[in-house]
A and B are shown apart, each in its own frame.
Chain A
Amino acid sequence: MEQYIYLLMSDYTLQIITLGTAMLGALCGMLGSFAVLRKQSLLGDAIAHASLPGIAIVFLVLGVKNNNGLLLGALLSGLVSAVFIKGIISKTHLKSDTALGVVLSTFFGFGMLLLTYIQKSPNANQSGLEKYLFGQAATLLAEDVWLMSMITGVALFVVLLFWKEFKMVLFDVDFTKTLGFHVKFIDTLMTSFIVIAIVMGLQTVGVVLMSAMLLAPAAAARQWTHSLSKMVFLAGIFGGVSGVLGTAISASANNLSTGPVIVLIATFFVMISFVFSPTRGLLFRQIKLWKNRNDLKLMKTLLFMYNLAKDHENISHPHKILLLNNFQGYTRKSLKRLESEELIQLNKDDWALTQKGFNTAENLYTNQ
């Protein structure tokens, strides 16, 4: 760890890569929130896969590996696939999952075909094109990171500018239409930025795992908050931290590919969030369930006491604890709890209902 920090302080390349992956994670987390809430989680996956033929075609045309040119190809190809997906959904009977599946496999298959063709060609430049499949963070240059930070800045600006419109479309499309907002424009804007974020990540994380960069931070963030702005912010943080930690781990351990490590860390955030989130987490939900079940048992005991006590003139007439036979499943502990809630009074071997206990039980009875 110390070694890594020392390395980070001194190694310019590592600084660039760390900055790049952090920026990418933050951008993807932020925009991924919108994809998740728009219920288009898989759209990102389809677009990422569909960008492969764009990369291959640009390489075939140019004959050289110009990174920006290849990414431009990826961008166009991704946008075309998005148009296809939306077109299929609106013009045919097919549902969105089918449309996504069809477009994803067609484009990706075509991309793989072109890639294998290129690899068999005699062009000496061809090697290294497969890095877009799984990503290679080590190839990030200062100018790439510059481009990334510019795009992140623009995306942030657009999100802030159209915050109200984005939120409304995400929550209630029909209502937005009736207010006279151009929903198609808002939707296209949102999708375009998601496509741009995907393309930015291709070099680092690759076609195959790119969608996880969008979805994992957003899914994790959703667990911790009930506010859209906090969710988007948190998703950005989770994404950014995943980028930094992933780069650190892959730089410290030899030969670990950066993209998959970043994705694994992001999914680790998801797991933690699913289990430990205070309101939505599995753990706390289970605890709440147990507590409810215990409360129910307690009330059952109280009801039994009530049925005994109500025949007496004085409701606080003491009864033997032994009277609570085993059917009621009482324990010393549960009696203590009833006493601490001032529902009963304990006195050695006796118990007696308090007025509060009597009223509580009576209401339970009428509510049944």
Chain B
Amino acid sequence: MDHNIALAIDDLTVAYNYKPVLWDIDLQIPEGVLMAIVGPNGAGKSTLLKSVLDIIKPLAGSVTIYGKPYRKQRHKVAYVPQKGSVDWDFPTTALDVVMMGTYGALGWIKRPGKKEKKLALEALEKVGMLPYKSRQISQLSGGQQQRIFLARALVQNAAIYFMDEPFQGVDTTTEKAIIQILKELRKAGKTVVVVHHDLQTVPEYFDWVTFLNVKKIATGPVADIFNDDNLTKTYGINYKTSIVE
């Protein structure tokens, strides 16, 4: 494996109203891994993604992507927010949402044209949503909406992908389809960072894992560190019940 560092986080601390959400996080993610971030509710998993992406301003610390600050590396980054973070009753179509993935490269004012549409259609095809391209987004199922979000990130054609719970509320078929696409991304040398809830599927889906509970507990290859010791440190003594849940 190539040991370029795709993402480096140094001493990152984030707080909402004096209460620390993330405390002094140091993290280095090598290029080409498919990594899960796991931890209990309120552990700061989504916040970690949002601070990396400059959506939330951290109190302290720095984030670099391929050695440079995020502001200079936006074109290398794609983001899939939590599905529940947007209003799916918004008057627009599936194709239109996927097209938004091209807006970053377009910049201000310039309108998407034929080239952008072609990219969006290809991404829709990849996630198996081409037949639904003209559907109003509220008429899609939860799994289909998640696929649309994934397609929007694929259009960004990034080097590193951040996904916030892409498996939440999706059916098994969609889950399998999504993980297939994530594995293909890894095969193409991309780095994929996924906030993940289901501990049972971690060894099957991912090759790298970070345990997070306000502080970073551990990070490394799943084969080395996905064990009872780290699970207990992250979830407390009753971690097995959290797996069942």
Chain A: residues with CB nearer than 8 A to chain B?
37, 39, 93, 161-165, 167-168, 170-172, 174-175, 177-181, 222, 225-228, 230-231
Could you say which residues of chain A place their CB within 8 Å of the CB of B108? Answer: 165, 181
Q: A175-B79, A178-B54, A226-B92 are in contact. List 6 more A-B contacts (CB 8 A).
A: A165-B109, A168-B103, A174-B55, A179-B74, A179-B104, A231-B91
Could you say which residues of chain A place their CB within 8 Å of the CB of B17? Answer: 93
> Which single member of B81, B93, B111 contacts A227 (CB below 8 Å)?
B93
Assembled-state Cα–Cα distance A228/B137 (Å):
12
Contact A178:B77 (CB < 8 A) given known A164-B111, A168-B103: yes
Contact A37:B90 (CB < 8 A) given known A175-B100, A178-B54, A179-B74: yes
- Which partner residue on chain B sits nearest A186 by CB separation? B108
Assembled-state Cα–Cα distance A164/B106 (Å):
10
Contact A177:B55 (CB < 8 A) given known A162-B109, A226-B136: yes
> Which single member of B54, B79, B86, B109 contacts A171 (CB below 8 Å)?
B86
Assembled-state Cα–Cα distance A57/B106 (Å):
46
Asked if B3 is an interface residue, CB under 8 A from chain A, the answer is no
Q: Give the number of chain B interface residues (Cβ < 8 Å).
A: 31
Assembled-state Cα–Cα distance A107/B106 (Å):
42
Assembled-state Cα–Cα distance A170/B50 (Å):
19
Chain B: residues with CB nearer than 8 A to chain A?
17, 50, 53-55, 71, 74, 77, 79, 81, 85-87, 90-93, 96-97, 100, 103-104, 106, 108-112, 136, 138, 152
Q: List 18 A-B contacts (CB under 8 A).
A: A93-B17, A164-B110, A167-B92, A171-B90, A171-B97, A171-B100, A172-B81, A172-B86, A174-B50, A174-B79, A175-B100, A178-B54, A178-B74, A178-B79, A179-B103, A227-B92, A228-B90, A228-B91
- Which partner residue on chain B sits nearest A171 by CB separation? B90
Could you say which residues of chain B place their CB within 8 Å of the CB of A174? Answer: 50, 53, 55, 79, 81, 85
Measured CB to CB, the closest approach of chain A to B37, in angstroms, equals: 17
> Which single member of A172, A180, A230 contacts B85 (CB below 8 Å)?
A172
Measured CB to CB, the closest approach of chain A to B193, in angstroms, equals: 13
Assembled-state Cα–Cα distance A278/B163 (Å):
37
Assembled-state Cα–Cα distance A167/B92 (Å):
9
Assembled-state Cα–Cα distance A37/B87 (Å):
9
B54 and A177 form a contact (CB under 8 A): yes
Assembled-state Cα–Cα distance A111/B85 (Å):
38
Assembled-state Cα–Cα distance A93/B109 (Å):
35
Contact A171:B92 (CB < 8 A) given known A161-B109, A164-B111: yes
A-B contact count, CB below 8 Å? 74
B103 and A164 form a contact (CB under 8 A): yes
- Which partner residue on chain A sits nearest B88 by CB separation? A171
- Which partner residue on chain B sits nearest A230 by CB separation? B91
Assembled-state Cα–Cα distance A170/B108 (Å):
16
Assembled-state Cα–Cα distance A132/B106 (Å):
44
B90 and A170 form a contact (CB under 8 A): yes
Name the residue among B71, B91, B104 with the largest chain A CB count within 10 angstroms.
Answer: B91
Could you say which residues of chain A place their CB within 8 Å of the CB of B55? Answer: 174, 177-178
A168 and B100 form a contact (CB under 8 A): yes
Assembled-state Cα–Cα distance A226/B96 (Å):
12
A225 and B91 form a contact (CB under 8 A): yes
Assembled-state Cα–Cα distance A230/B92 (Å):
10
Assembled-state Cα–Cα distance A301/B15 (Å):
62
Could you say which residues of chain A place their CB within 8 Å of the CB of B81? Answer: 172, 174-175
Could you say which residues of chain B place their CB within 8 Å of the CB of A163? Answer: 111
Could you say which residues of chain A place their CB within 8 Å of the CB of B152? Answer: 175
Could you say which residues of chain B place their CB within 8 Å of the CB of A226? Answer: 91-93, 136, 138
Assembled-state Cα–Cα distance A181/B110 (Å):
13
Measured CB to CB, the closest approach of chain A to B215, in angstroms, equals: 25
Assembled-state Cα–Cα distance A227/B97 (Å):
12
Assembled-state Cα–Cα distance A177/B49 (Å):
13
Could you say which residues of chain A place their CB within 8 Å of the CB of B54? Answer: 177-178
- Which partner residue on chain A sits nearest B77 by CB separation? A178
Contact A180:B71 (CB < 8 A) given known A37-B90, A171-B100, A226-B93: yes
Assembled-state Cα–Cα distance A226/B100 (Å):
17
Contact A178:B103 (CB < 8 A) given known A165-B108, A171-B92: no
Could you say which residues of chain A place their CB within 8 Å of the CB of B77? Answer: 178
Assembled-state Cα–Cα distance A48/B50 (Å):
35
- Which partner residue on chain B sits nearest A185 by CB separation? B108
Could you say which residues of chain B place their CB within 8 Å of the CB of A175? Answer: 79, 81, 100, 152
Q: Which 6 A-B pairs have the closest CB atoms?
A: A179-B104, A226-B136, A178-B79, A178-B53, A180-B74, A172-B86
B92 and A228 form a contact (CB under 8 A): yes
